[in-house]
A and B are shown apart, each in its own frame.
Chain A
């Protein structure tokens, strides 16, 4: 079971109070983009063993969307952060590097 802390209301709770929103930091390719970009945006997702970044929503609480970084093998939550960001914050990436040396996810760390 995942224990998440909502960065907006500060509540720490288990995953049933939240709703998963899939992979984080997707870049949208809409009308006018190439077929390859559009196909990648729609269908291609990471499926990592280890560090992963996801979107979550505090559905039974304040109702806000946020981002979470977690490990898919140990279910450890590295941290949660605001939805108003396009990439994981530096402190969080450093924290993950300290715990999982050599990790990579898309173009990060």
Chain B
């Protein structure tokens, strides 16, 4: 059995205006189906102890999180080792519901951008209003970073988590690194 490794081996860069770190492996499960369906809601609640989030939000408690991806798609975060158990549980409870559950843990990469200028870094790359008034803890935004799709949320003040395709990991890390260069703060937030 080969060892599981994250895309960039947990690379970190902290010289600039914000610290950019690749997060360790994260269990991720994509759930597609009617998000207002009672059976689906119940099944999700049973495995994560979390309610299905409303439009463009993220519900996060401890090691579990639910991200609203689209009207019929959720992204579920869980410990990397428990993906198989969660898949089995969800598949069992959603057997008769029109839905899809798939393990995408190794298909995505998460970066953490932290520091007082974390918002500046994202503002340079995404066509999104990320001012403290418009974007707060609990919101989940799918958009793009320069030329690739990505999504981000703020688990705490001055911390932005960015999720992208694993195959884009090097590109996104380089982007974040350049956008976080020394002396390049925007000083607008």
Contact between A62 and B70 (Cβ–Cβ < 8 Å)?
Answer: yes
A64 contacts which of B55, B70, B127 (Cβ < 8 Å)? B70
Q: A9: nearest residue on chain B (CB-CB)?
A: B56
- Bound complex: CA A14 to CA B56 (Å): 17
Interface positions of B from 86 to 115, Cβ below 8 Å from A: none
Contact between B71 and A13 (Cβ–Cβ < 8 Å)?
Answer: no
A60 contacts which of B55, B56, B71, B144 (Cβ < 8 Å)? B144
- Residues of chain A at interface, number, CB under 8 A: 14
Known: A9-B55, A10-B56. A16 touches B71 (CB 8 A): no
Report chain A residues within 8 Å CB of B68: 9
A-B contact count (CB 8 A): 39
- Interface assignment of A109: CB less than 8 Å from any CB of chain B: no
Known: A9-B55, A11-B56, A13-B127. A62 touches B71 (CB 8 A): yes
Contact between B127 and A16 (Cβ–Cβ < 8 Å)?
Answer: yes
Report chain A residues within 8 Å CB of B174: none
- Bound complex: CA A10 to CA B57 (Å): 11
Q: B127: nearest residue on chain A (CB-CB)?
A: A14
A8 contacts which of B70, B127, B143 (Cβ < 8 Å)? B70
A10 contacts which of B55, B69, B73 (Cβ < 8 Å)? B55
- Interface assignment of B177: CB less than 8 Å from any CB of chain A: no
Interface residues as binary, A60-71 with B (CB distance below 8 Å gives 1, 0 otherwise): 111110000000
Contact between A62 and B69 (Cβ–Cβ < 8 Å)?
Answer: yes
Contact between B143 and A17 (Cβ–Cβ < 8 Å)?
Answer: yes
Report chain A residues within 8 Å CB of B69: 62
Contact between A17 and B127 (Cβ–Cβ < 8 Å)?
Answer: yes
Q: B129: nearest residue on chain A (CB-CB)?
A: A12
Q: A16: nearest residue on chain B (CB-CB)?
A: B127
Interface positions of A from 1 to 60, Cβ below 8 Å from B: 8-11, 13-14, 16-17, 59-60
- Bound complex: CA A59 to CA B147 (Å): 12
Q: Beyond A9-B142, A61-B70, list 15 extra A-B contacts (CB 8 Å).
A: A8-B70, A9-B68, A9-B71, A10-B55, A10-B56, A13-B127, A13-B143, A14-B127, A16-B127, A16-B144, A17-B127, A59-B149, A62-B70, A63-B70, A64-B70
Chain A residues with CB under 8 Å of chain B are: 8-11, 13-14, 16-17, 59-64
Chain B residues with CB under 8 Å of chain A are: 55-56, 68-71, 73, 127-128, 141-144, 149
> Lowest 6 CB-CB distances: which A-B pairs, in order?
A62-B70, A60-B144, A61-B142, A60-B149, A14-B127, A8-B71
A–B Cβ pairs within 8 angstroms, 5 of them: A9-B70, A11-B142, A61-B70, A62-B70, A62-B71
